[in-house]
Structure 1
Amino acid sequence: MTTEMRAAVVGIDGTGKTTVLRRMREQGDIAVVHAIRAHDDPDSPYAALSRALAGASAAADALGRVQLKLAVLYLQLCLYGPAERQAAREGRILVSDRHPLIDPLAYLPMFARAEREDTPGADVEAWWRRQEPRAARAVRDWLVTRTGSADPWPVGTDLLHRATRPPQDILDHFTRSCGVTLPNAVVLLDLPVEDALARTRGRESRGELHETADLLSLARQHYDAALDWLARTRPEVTVHRVDCRGRSAAEVTEAVRAAVTPRGARGARR
């Protein structure tokens, strides 16, 4: 089976990406990949490592260290390439929850604006201690595999420096690092920040480092700028925007499906 469409669903936290992708997966004819939380797919061969990385991300949130958060984000995005290649064999349409070439264009500049200290102090060791020992070993092994070092700090620092560079430089870096190409389409789920925050605050897990009104507003602005840049410079990538205000999950799911379904296949479902 040949994949005819690769699409990425993006947007700030709280816009409903995970819910929409779950509903699309349940419809049975679309392959789904989670770029950051591979374990949201229970059948993913990378689920265990993804859970370990989620724990490492939570530890970075607890310490409030942007460099550690970005280092983990990089390690999470590096799982995407093999997951996409596997999922591409499952259906003609492949949709991802976030994408390693799109989300850095929004989140790196956002994190670069966050308040931070530039020296790690004792926080790298504290970060390792906050992780469950077996999970920490998996994270350390993946870090060494991807960077050649067990020190996460330089990874995050490098990404903060890259955040100030032109979008093409960021795109080129993650293209090389993650071994992936741009999708055929990008669908932005748009929601006012106050509505998105209300949704994230209703979650059981603790909030992430960037889940504040100021930082999510920056991320929303950077998504707009990134997609405008893509529309100008990459005409082969179709950009869609879906306004989620006042719309049910079913309505948003249908809007996303319409955006990602090749024209000739739109009457095939049912």
Structure 2
Amino acid sequence: MSDIRVAVVGIDGTGKTTVVRRIRERDGFAVVHAIRNHEDPHSPFAELSRALADASAVADALGRVQLKVAVLCLQLWLYGPAERRAAARSRVLLADRHPLVDPLVYLPMFGQLERDAEPGGDVEAWWRKQDPRAASAVRDWLRACRGDTDPWPLGEELLRVGAEPPHTMLDTLSRRFGVTMPDRVLMLDLPVAEALRRTHERTRDTELHETSAFLTATRRRYGTVLDWLREARPDVAVRRIDCSGRSVEEVTDSVRRALGPPGT
């Protein structure tokens, strides 16, 4: 089992996925991608993860936060099995995002977005706009996790969790996903303008939350959450790594040093 579990977090565009991939390739450490599990070329959950990414993109296109949050929950439910599998391979396990840290940031913020209480025809449209094979995989996973195939109540439920106090939210999410807090949390920090430039250079479509105002609030919220973790969970080491104006290699070296000496 892994001796050290480290979550790498931060707003979109900070290079989390690239950095952990380079460390995996260079040092052989195990990596789990909390949202996009298919970034792991050896993941047995890759096909389902790609289907969930497609479902998330459709939720973005429809602009329905309940569907976006429901898919997020389905993605995070993959983390526990992936972590247990990866932990057997390496003494150091890196998480690209974490199902207990990132929801503390995002769920309260998604809950503040303007939204209609009823789905109208958007749940049916959400299923219809997905690739049929991908939709079938999403439907099966939703049924396995929830016992039914309606994503709307799941999204509403997660938004209610996001309105709870942090310690209650943390306990709820830990039970839901069957995971515990990492030993260390490394926040990759980047000014919003620089992060937006990077996200807009990607080939995929812009996500529902990738706006200047939302990313600014998210960056602030990460600071609040990590300050709370320092007080409430002193057993979890928290560190901020400045990425502004730095190359991928420089940030990767900073993250690697934060993990400890070679051979850790």
Q: Same fold (TM over 0.5)?
A: yes
Shift of 1:243: 0.6
Quick check: 1:29–1:93 contact (8 Å CA) kept in 2?
no
**In structure 1, the residue corresponding to 2:52 is in which secondary structure?**
helix
Farther-moved stretch of structure 1 (165-174 vs 182-191): 165-174
Farther-moved stretch of structure 1 (70-79 vs 112-121): 112-121
Q: What residue in structure 1 maps to residue 245 of structure 2?
A: 246
Quick check: 1:67–1:157 contact (8 Å CA) kept in 2?
yes
Q: How does 1:100-249 map to 2 (within 5 A)?
A: 100-249=99-248
Q: What residue in structure 2 maps to residue 85 of structure 1?
A: 84
Mapped partners of 1:186, 1:41: distance in 2: 20
2:5 matches 1:6: yes
C-alpha offsets along residues 31-78 of structure 1, whole Å, 9 cap, x if unaligned? 111001000011100000000000000000000000000000000000
Q: What residue in structure 1 maps to residue 56 of structure 2?
A: 57
Quick check: 1:15–1:190 contact (8 Å CA) kept in 2?
yes
**In structure 2, the residue corresponding to 1:211 is in which secondary structure?**
coil
Mapped partners of 2:5, 2:263: distance in 1: 18
Shift of 1:115: 2.2
Shift of 1:162: 1.6
Mapped partners of 2:43, 2:263: distance in 1: 28
Quick check: 1:35–1:76 contact (8 Å CA) kept in 2?
yes
**In structure 1, the residue corresponding to 2:135 is in which secondary structure?**
helix
Quick check: 1:114–1:215 contact (8 Å CA) kept in 2?
no
Mapped partners of 2:226, 2:259: distance in 1: 16
- Structure 1: 5+ residue stretches without partners: none
Shift of 1:28: 3.2
C-alpha offsets along residues 216-252 of structure 1, whole Å, 9 cap, x if unaligned? 1121111111111110011110001001001110111
- Structure 2: 5+ residue stretches without partners: none
**In structure 2, the residue corresponding to 1:94 is in which secondary structure?**
strand
**In structure 1, the residue corresponding to 2:94 is in which secondary structure?**
strand
Shift of 1:258: 1.3
C-alpha offsets along residues 101-130 of structure 1, whole Å, 9 cap, x if unaligned? 000000101111222212100000000001
Mapped partners of 2:128, 2:53: distance in 1: 15
RMSD, aligned CA: 1.0
**In structure 2, the residue corresponding to 1:117 is in which secondary structure?**
coil
Identical-pair percentage: 60
Instruction: Give runs of ≥4 in structure 1 deviating > 2 Å.
Output: none
Shift of 1:267: 4.5
State the TM-score, normalizing by the size of structure 2: 0.98
Shift of 1:29: 2.8
